[in-house]
Amino acid sequence: MRSNRARFLMTAIVSVMMLSVATDCAFQRMRENLKNCEFDLDSVSVKSLSFTSVELAVDVGIKNPNAEQVILDKLVFDLYSSDRKLGSGKHNETAVIPPSERKVVTIDFKTSLSEIGMGLLSTLKSGQATYRMEGTAYLSTFLGEVPVPFSIEKDMGASNQ
């Protein structure tokens, strides 16, 4: 009887250890896959404009060069135009990017005109701007969120819109 208990206990311990190692390797691989992704600023457009605020649609392209799909659970970022901080944004929808494909995620971004300043309005009017997005992409795991920082920059002109 003791022999069966000891064998069962040993089997359970070995199984838990193997599962832990396999899970750790899987999460490490998912993190590496997310790190390998290329982020780019596809476009920025004005959705609405009022006397006190502006709402932008920020399209972020995510290219997955990996042989496996990547799951992006959250994106937190600061958006700049011509080195002026426009504000911060967050995207909480899960995006699945198949292997060797690119997916565009549209994020609604609302900020006050006082944060933007007159510089952005003249930039939008002229149709020329350099946009920069600095942020962190997150992969959710049962152990918590795994952060992957990114920074992207793009010159946007009238021909790019």
| Closest of 56, 61, 89, 57 to residue 75, by C-alpha | 89
Question: What mean pLDDT value characterizes the chain?
Answer: 76
pLDDT at 1: 58
pLDDT at 161: 44
| Closest of 50, 115, 51 to residue 84, by C-alpha | 115
Q: What's the average model confidence in pLDDT over 61-69?
A: 90
Structure tokens at 93: 């929808």
Domain that holds residue 7: 2-160
Round to whole Å and give the CA distance between 145 and 137. Answer: 10
Q: Which of 3-17, 61-75, 81-95 has the lowest mean pLDDT?
A: 3-17
CATH of the domain at 18: 2.60.40.10
Number of domains in the chain: 1
Q: What is the pLDDT of residues 94-106, one digit of tens each?
A: 888 899 999 998 8
Query: Which pTM does this prediction carry?
Result: 0.62
Q: What's the average model confidence in pLDDT over 111-131?
A: 67
Alpha-helical regions (H) of the chain: 2-36, 113-126
In this prediction, residue 70 has a pLDDT band, given cuts at 50, 70 and 90, of confident
